[in-house]
Each structure stands twice: as C-alpha cells, then as structure tokens.
Structure 1
Amino acid sequence: MQPLPSLPFPAYSYKMEEITRSFTKEETTGPVIRYEEVKMDSARMLWYKYTADQEYHIPMRLEKERVELHFKLQGRSGVSYADQHLIMTANQQSIFYQRELEGEYILFPGEESAFFEIEMPMAVFGSLVTDESQFLQNFFHKLQTPRHYLWPGYCMHITPKMHHIITEMHTTTYKGQMKRLFLEAKMIELFLLQVSGYDEEYLQPATLRPQEIDALHAARQYIGQHFAEDCSIISLAGQVGLNQKKLKQGFKVLFGHTIFGYVSHVRMEKAKQLLLDEQKTVGEVAELVGYQHQQHFTAAFRKKYGILPKTLKQ
C-alpha cells in the first residue's frame, strides 16, 4: 500500500470557484484520479472518480467543523480514523459530522469508483435544522457530545430522484451567479430528500397501550429532572423500560414533540430562568443546562427566542 499526498483544497470564498483536475498514474505513482470541484461560501461540492490497481491510503486532515452529505455512486471506498473504520458501497448515501479529523481515505482496486459529496459549514447546516424533523434533532443533539468527531449518522440507498438531482447539478448549463443559485437550490432539495427518508423511521404512527403511556409520562418527567445529563434515546429507553422505536414514536404522538426537541425546550426554559433570575454568565448557564460548547447553546437559544442570551441578561 503506497501513501499519497493530501490534495490541497482552498478555504471557502464568497465567489464561486470551479476546479477540474486529473491525476494520471504516472503523476501520482498511484491510482488514476479525476475530480471536479465547486466551492462557495455556502458549500463545497465534489465529484470524484478513480481507478486503482491496488489498495491505497491517502492521508487526510480536516481542522474545520462541518457536515457532509455523501453519495457513493459506484464501487466502494472507505475512511479510517482512530478506532473508527467506515466503508461505503455503490448506491449508498449518508450524512456525516466531522471535526478535527485526521486519518486516511481508503481507495480499493477494481472497477471505477465514484462519489459525490457536499460539505456544509456548520452555520449553513444550523440554518437548516428544524424541530419538525426528528432525524435532524437527533443529529444536532449528538453534536453536543464531544466524542463524535466522525459520526456517520444513518446510511440508506440513493433514490432515483437523488440520482437525477446529482446528474442535474453535474450537467447544468447555467453559468456564473445563475449556476451558483441553481446549485444551492438543488443542494437544499437533496438535503430535504435525505432528511425525509431518515425521518420515516421516526414518524410512523404508534398505537399505545396504557402501560406504555405511563412509561412515556415517566420519560417526560425524567427529562424535566435530568435535562442537563444524558437524555439520549438509549439511556432514556433503559430508564423507562421501552424499546427505542416505541419511545421515539410514542413520545411524538403523545406530547407532540420529538424527544430531542423536548429536551431542548426544557433546557432553553431553564436557561431563560437562570439568565433572568441569577447572576450567572452565559457560559455558566450553557454548562448548567447541558451544553458542551457555548456557541451551540447561543445558537439554540437564539433559534428558540429570537435573541441572544447576553441580550436577555442586559
């Protein structure tokens, strides 16, 4: 296995930049690679193809925090980081969270391999998060946990409509600002298709028995008392004696909130009380209501109340 140098990708810019680059085997002493890249302030989009005669490991280092929409179109490839090892095969798609990531891309020999990916800065992803999607609430909640440096979310098949949109994005004849607007619109459409597919697991109607209703009320009471602690689906299901699927579906049906939406609501209400009634800094309040990072707390508070926490204090 021969190592290859990392490919240089410049930072985001407010103008759209397009790059097409090919590397022959003679140039890289490795696989034949071709990529086409579009970079904007709102996203980086990459169409990537390669053929390899053996397995190659390409070093990677990602310092920024980002969310990636990944679509494996042909063949298979992988990524290795610390004790995590993920391989995706043809026609699979996923949503990743990545931060301070150092590891390797793994290229496998065989037929041509291809993928399309969209990298979103956290500010862009945060603007798309909504309480109406339990998947997004689940995803966003996991971002509060510092151990999730590489979190692959869920993995599902690429639908024919997704394939069509990706092809449209690649072959559009728009130029300049019109192309930028087209790509951003299609990016959001693709994101919505992914999220709606993942949400189907959460939003199926649930039939609740009396003992299950009692358990769900116990879950809500537990959240009210332990909102700053681990209120993950797994731990909450263990606390009240329900399986995870019934807990997620039943909570939404009975209370009209996703679990993570309700946890966020309780945290924000408590934070508002602390900011108004006690002499605590915004950082102290963020920690007291269970946020690892003050910026995540500030974003959540502003999303719910429309003002910054420091403004409320003033």
Structure 2
Amino acid sequence: MKIRFKSIGFNNGELKKCFDKGMRTSLLLENKHSNLNVGTGELKEIHLNQAFVLHQNYNNVNLENHSLQIKQSQSVFLLQFVMEGNKTISINDIEYHLTRNTYNLFYIPSLSYTHNYFQTKKNILNIYFKESFLKDKMGKSFINNSKQYLEAKKENQFYSFFEKGLVVNKQLRNIINEFLTCSFEGVTKKSYLEAKLTELVLMALASNYSATKTYNLREADKENLIRIENYMRANLKEDLSIEKLSALAGFNTSKFKNDFKEVFKMPVFKYLTSLRIEKAIELILKHDYTISQASYEVGYKNPQHFTVAFKKKLGYLPSELLT
C-alpha cells in the first residue's frame, strides 16, 4: 500500500510512504521534518504496528491558506484530531469541515483528495489505519453495525462516521499529549505508544459507539426528522423552539425530542447550537462577518450569549478564529 502526500510545505514537494499488508510492522519507525518551506515547526511521522501517525504542528509564515494533496493505492481509515486551525477535506467537489478542537473518523477509498487549511497555525494529529486495526480495537460490531459505512465501502465512496466533528475534550488532549511527548526509548517506547494509541482510539470512538448503530424508527418518521433538520439549517436566524419544531414535524414534544436524539445522536438544542456555531464560523472565516454580525445571523440576539455557547462547545473564544 502506498500513500503520497504532496504539498509546497515539503522540501521536495512530496512525502511518499509504503506499507506492508495491514500496515503491519514489528519496528517503531519515526521521522521528523523541521526544515519546512512554509514556516516554522515540525512534521512528525510515527509508524506503529497497523497504524501510521502524521503530526502537523507548525506555523505558516509565508502563506495562510494552503493544501495537502493525497493519493493512496488502497482504502484506509483516517482518525483526525484538529487541535489548532480550521480545515476541510475536499473529495469530488464535496467538502467536509473540521474546525479547531474537533475530530472525526473517515473511511477513504482508493482515490485522490485534498486537505485545505485556513489558518496559519496548525496542530493536527492524523492516524491512518486499515479496517483490521479498527476491528482489533473496537470489535467487529463497530463495523458491522454501521450500515451506512458498509454501503459506502461497497460503492467505493468516502464516508464520515460522525456527521459533525466531535469535541476534543480534556481527556483526549491529555492522551494525545502523552503520546506525542513520550520520553521512553526502544521497545519500551514502542509498547507505550501502541498502548496510548489504543487508549486514544477507544476513548475517541467507544463513547460515541451509538452513533454507528442503526435505529428502529418508521421510515416516515425518519424522513420527517430529516426534513426538520434541513429546516433548522435553513432558518438558524429564527426562534426555533421545541414546540415549533415539534409542531412542524407533527409530533408531540416528547416524541420529537426522543426521536430526534435517536436519529442525530444528540439533544435538539445541543444539535441546534452546533449548527449555529458551525454556520457562524463559516460566516466569520469565509465571508468576513464580525463576531457580532455572525452571532445575530445565526439566531443569537446577544453576542455575549453566542460567545459563551462557542467557548463551552469548542473550548476557546470566537475571537481566536481571527488570530
């Protein structure tokens, strides 16, 4: 299996990696790139048994927005943690967003795709592995219960396991920091890193295991909820109360709240807050809205309330998007 990374950030313009079947190795293979073309910092490679880790931690002083083009010879999973920066994955004219302090799990078939970055500072942990690794760590049921993934795999299509990026909480950050700052050497270091990687994968995915399960709702109810979710996206500026949304769906409030959580894996207002924050970030970064303008546009009458919700969800202030 081969993965080819192309970027002006690399001294020779690209980084090529070759892996055995299942990305297996009996050795700990590490490499660092500190002399980057686009700025200061470090690009670190770690190849462990069944997994390849690429840590991007640098500031781009020569340009703010740049891309990383990737081509791979086989399908692979990517568990990506964005601690600093904002980015998208572009595949066949479709974009998947990840903002600062979020993560997601992607299935990527054999094709070419692009990572686009929108801020100068980047601290991103990329973990590549095959399906066998995921089954070893999470069990076969994690894969088998994800009907949408199995369909995407059959059709050779890109798949995002979580519709929204999940928050990199303090516990995950601590594990990532322990993984990246390991001071052991030799076999001890290899064992420690593999143990920490397993812990990181389990903590990131096991707590969200229900997101991969199928649900037992009537098809008509499911379609109704998807219609309401689309309505929410298109009308973020409105006062979207439970009573109003329930009435639009034709459900009582109790059924609406329970069924919505079953389908979208979070309570209605938590989901609505995520939509509003995601849209506000887009308005600020791509359309030059002020924080006050963006907060009003997505339904907050008081910008301070938006700031509190933003900080609670992502762990930093919206003003830091502009630094």
Q: Same fold (TM over 0.5)?
A: yes
Q: Deviations over 1:169-197 (max 9, x none)?
A: 01112222222222222222112212233
3-state SS of paired residue (1:8): strand
TM-score scaled by length of structure 2: 0.57
Structure 2 distance, partners of 1:19, 1:234, is: 48
Whether contact under 8 Å (1:129, 1:137) holds in the other structure is no
Structure 1 Cα separation of the partners of residues 212 and 155 of structure 2? 25
Cα distance in 1 between the residues matched to 2:34 and 2:149: 36
TM-superposed CA distance for 1:49, in Å, is 1.7
Partner of residue 46, structure 1: 54
Which amino acid letter does the alignment assign opposite residue 194 of structure 1?
A
Once the two structures are TM-superposed, the CA of residue 92 in structure 1 deviates from its matched residue by 0.2
1:37 counterpart letter in structure 2: E
Q: Describe the shift of the 1:38–1:241 C-alpha distance in structure 2 as closer, same or farther (beyond 3 A).
A: closer
After TM superposition, the structure 1 = structure 2 runs for residues 164-183 of structure 1, keeping only pairs within 5 Å, are 164-183=174-193
Aligned residue number for residue 84 of structure 2? 74
Structure 1: which 5+ residue stretches go unaligned?
A: 204-231, 251-314
Partner of 1:64: 74
Q: Which residue is equivalent to 1:14?
A: 26
The C-alpha deviation readout for 1:224-269, integer Å capped at 9, x for no partner, is xxxxxxxx7699724998858749959xxxxxxxxxxxxxxxxxxx
* Structure 1 match to 2:110: 100
- Contact 1:202–1:249 under 8 Å retained in 2: no
Which protein is bigger by CA-based radius of gyration? 1
How far off is 1:146 after superposition?
A: 1.5
CA contact (8 A) 1:47 1:114 kept: yes
Whether 1:121 and 2:136 are equivalent positions in the alignment is no
| CA deviation map 1:261-301 (0-9, x unaligned) | xxxxxxxxxxxxxxxxxxxxxxxxxxxxxxxxxxxxxxxxx
The two structures, once aligned, show a CA RMSD in angstroms of 3.5
Asked if the contact 2:146/2:212 (under 8 Å) is kept, the reply is: no
CA distance in 2, matches of 1:72, 1:135: 27
Q: 1:192 to 1:237 in 2, by over 3 A?
A: farther
Q: 1:33–1:49: 8 Å Cα contact kept in structure 2? A: yes
Q: CA deviation at 1:151?
A: 1.7
What does residue 37 of structure 1 align with?
45
Provide the rounded CA distance (Å) in 2 between the counterparts of 1:202 and 1:108: 30
CA distance in 1, matches of 2:260, 2:150: 17
1:79-158 equivalent positions in 2, closer than 5 A:
79-110=89-120, 112-130=121-139, 137-138=146-147, 140-148=149-157, 150-154=158-162, 155-158=165-168
In the TM superposition, residue 168 of structure 1 has moved relative to its aligned partner by: 0.6
Alpha-carbon distance in 1 for matches of 2:105, 2:178: 20
For 1:8, the aligned partner's letter is K
Query: How big is the shift at 1:121?
Result: 1.9
Cα 1:47–1:161 shift into 2, 3 Å: same
How far is 1:89 from its partner? 1.4
1:32 Cα deviation (Å)? 4.3
TM-score by length of 1: 0.58
* 126-135 vs 96-105, which moves further: 126-135
Would the alpha carbon gap of residues 236 and 75 (structure 1) be closer, same or farther in structure 2, given more than 3 Å must change?
A: same
Report how many residues are paired.
Answer: 215
Instruction: Verify the 8 A CA contact 2:52 2:129 in the aligned structure 1.
Output: yes
